[in-house]
Copies of this chain bind each other. A is one copy, B any other.
Amino acid sequence: MKPLWIIKIGGNVIDNPEALDSFLKDFSALDGAKVLIHGGGKIATQIAKGLGVETQMVNGRRITDAEMLKIVTMVYGGLVNKNVVAKLQANGTNAIGMTGADGNVIKAIKRPVKEVDFGFVGDLTETSINDTTLSQILEAGLIPVFAALTHDGNGQILNTNADTIASALAVGLSSRYETKLIYCFEKNGVLTDINNDDSVIAKINPAYFEELTQQGIIADGMLPKLQNAFAAISNGVKEVYIGNAGKLSDINQGKDFGTCLSL
């Protein structure tokens, strides 16, 4: 099977024009088929403020009411996505901006209301990814760039977590491609000492993951991140990398990039 990189960048890269330009250059230099998923950064919150729409967060997640949905659709799907695509084109990468609605490639279910009503937020299922259309787009030599939006198939756009989309794409495309998932964030990788950015753990397999968890070295926010990564691996993803967006060029140079999780 052909390799396919699936790379997610967070808001910290989107919010910093220089970091974004540098990342997009490195992304363009990466050989082979690839997919980019981007978050929205602080721009959505700024635009919401400008328009007098209140941003509500619960446990670090955005509540997406009808007005906020308009804003994230504008900002993620329009402003951020099209500028990333235009910049990639300038770097010689034949990018095509997408949401899950485009080509019906990611169909989600509106999150059921339990303790919290998250509003127009989409959850993914095992059948969310349309690998047929996605592989047609990839085989045409196009590089999909996803805003973190999906649809429900009944005309409703839904706001969907970018990490979740990246993971679902990597799993959903693993029957056609050797998928490698990269989560870019602000640190150099999974660290043994959270205060020392050089203390990167190069490789983690499931047994070592258990050991690190029992020792308390992996805890807090990193624990669910790695649990999700190993879930993706047990569902067909070859490798998951967690590393610094600014160091993506290390992969091209054959160096270690961040922390590599695999079986």
Contacts and interface: CB of A to CB of B under 8 A. Distances in A.
A33 interface: no
Interface in A62-103: 70, 73-79, 81-83, 85-87, 89-90, 94-99, 101-103
- Copy number in this complex? 2
A240 interface: no
A57 interface: no
A85 B101 contact: yes
Most-contacted residue by chain B among A73, A74, A86 (CB, 10 A): A86
A73 B70 CA distance: 14
B153 A90 contact: yes
Contacts of A73: 78-79, 82-83
Interface in A135-160: 136-137, 140, 142, 149, 151, 153-157
Interface size class of A (residues with CB under 8 A): 35 or more
Contacts of A154: 90
A104 interface: yes
Contacts of A95: 101-103
A221 interface: no
A17 to B, nearest CB: 11
Contact of A133 (B102, B103, B136, B140): B140
A89 B140 contact: no
Contacts of A142: 103, 133
A104 B82 CA distance: 12
A50 interface: yes
A33 to B, nearest CB: 15
A261 to B, nearest CB: 32
A136 B135 CA distance: 13
A52 interface: yes
Given A97-B99, A104-B94, A151 B89 contact: yes
A47 interface: yes
A37 to B, nearest CB: 16
Contacts of A75: 74, 78
27 contacts: A47-B74, A50-B50, A50-B51, A73-B78, A73-B82, A74-B78, A82-B99, A82-B101, A82-B149, A83-B157, A86-B151, A86-B156, A89-B104, A89-B151, A94-B103, A94-B133, A95-B101, A95-B102, A95-B103, A96-B102, A96-B103, A97-B97, A97-B98, A97-B102, A133-B140, A137-B140, A140-B140
Given A74-B79, A133-B142, 6 more contacts: A82-B102, A82-B157, A85-B101, A86-B155, A95-B101, A140-B140
